[in-house]
Chain A
Amino acid sequence: MERTVVDPLVEDYLRRLDGAAYPLGDDRRGELMAGIREHIEAAVESGEVDDEASLRALLDRLGDPDEIVAAARDDGSGATPYPLGTAAPVTYRRAGIGLEITAALFLTVGSVLFVIGWLVGVVLVWSSRRWTLGEKLLATLVFPGGPAVALVFATVATGTTSCGSSGVIDATGTPVDVQEQCVSTGLVVPTWIGLTLVAAWVILPILVAGVLVMRARRRADTEPPVPVVTPVGGATRWGGLEIAAVLLLSVGSFVAPLVGPLAGLVCAWMSPQWTRGEKWVATAICSLVLVVPIVAFVGLLSFRAL
């Protein structure tokens, strides 16, 4: 049941507040107006306000619209004075979904690193708090191994199917009654089922990943912006530790295989600036950087053994 207090006094007050709150932008103005309106309605419901005098007293206690808006303008810009010398101005940024995007990439593109890339994706999916249990199960079960598995399947299937013609050759050497025949020696699956399966194995995981990323974005937008502590002096989110982490993770393996990326990982987790999600992304990159050379090495060995 929607009930609004209609009174010239209240209307006038809300109009003045709305006008004063204009510079706050639509979102914050709307939130402020809703809060004040709810306050007045709750006061009326509580029986505290029953005549003009008590209504005037209520509006008086709420304060001058300009004063309320001034209090609202204090924040967000990092200009809020912090008490007791804790002097760290805080700014806000939109909540990021780096973790979710990385998870989606590993589940799809990353699956070319057979099993391992996909497994990293699964771990990332389950460490996100922006997906429901159902969505995490969906991401895990559609489909194990990721799209790359379809490529293997396709390779195996084409490798085991041979087609040939059979017929009767007449006296002049012309083929008569020719029939195309395909013989599958390995997996005996009709072609159309095989193709559907391969297509589904490629398309559905990508579709699921796309939908889940969009959902994560929508949910992240409803979250409060992430406070970013900016040290006095205006340093950015890139301190020495963060730069070291990126350098070690990217080119560290050329300098010191294994140890370089691992040191980068330690730097990433020690960073006071990066969020947990961002640290997990660094972890995923690190595991990738460690795994790629190993896979390449093993691959090379087995190739030479053939």
Chain B
Amino acid sequence: MEPGEAQNPLTQLRRGVIEYCVLALLTAEELYGFDLVRRLGESEGLVTSEGTIYPLLSRMRRAGWVTTTWRESESGPPRRYYAITRSGQHALDGFTTEWQRFRDSVDGVLGTGEGHRDGAHRG
């Protein structure tokens, strides 16, 4: 297998989970695009092309998972702030449960689960 192909499953996985990461960030506070992208960027390996977050946000808005409001900024043009909706919260809750199960299963098979590491979960 080519090294480039080996990256593919992670790209797919990233694409699938990133919207839930966005939802999770929005549960704490409303954020505007740039801020949101920066927060996601703080977690290593989560976002490769920051620009792809914008189509994602647009899709989430159309799906009713987030709402947007324009707000004045201290300097410069108004910004579009994103807030999570009830149905977004619903989607996030469902995903969180499934993700934990999925992650544990993969960790278990790969032998990288809690039993193999120090097991201390932060957060």
Contacts and interface: CB of A to CB of B under 8 A. Distances in A.
A237 B32 CA distance: 36
Nearest to A5: B76
B75 to A, nearest CB: 6
A45 B75 contact: yes
A263 B52 CA distance: 48
Interface residues of A, number: 43
Contact of B54 (A35, A74, A76, A83): A35
Contacts of A81: 12, 15-16
B73 to A, nearest CB: 8
Nearest to B13: A83
Contacts of B5: none
Contact of A84 (B62, B77, B102): B102
A3 B77 contact: yes
Nearest to A226: B64
Contact of A36 (B32, B51, B95): B51
Contacts, number: 114
Contacts of A3: 76-77
A76 B60 CA distance: 10
A63 B49 contact: yes
Contacts of B17: 83
B76 A224 contact: no
A3 B76 CA distance: 6
A87 B16 CA distance: 12
B76 to A, nearest CB: 5
A81 B16 CA distance: 7
20 contacts: A1-B77, A2-B77, A3-B76, A31-B54, A38-B80, A41-B76, A42-B32, A61-B49, A62-B51, A63-B48, A63-B50, A67-B52, A71-B15, A71-B51, A71-B52, A71-B56, A75-B55, A81-B12, A83-B17, A225-B62
Interface of B: 12-13, 15-17, 32-35, 37, 41, 48-52, 54-59, 61-64, 73, 75-77, 79-80, 95, 98-99, 102
Given A1-B75, A90-B63, 7 more contacts: A31-B54, A41-B76, A41-B77, A43-B34, A61-B49, A68-B49, A68-B55
Interface of A: 1-3, 17, 28, 31-32, 34-36, 38-39, 41-43, 45-46, 61-65, 67-69, 71-72, 74-76, 80-84, 86, 90, 92, 223-227
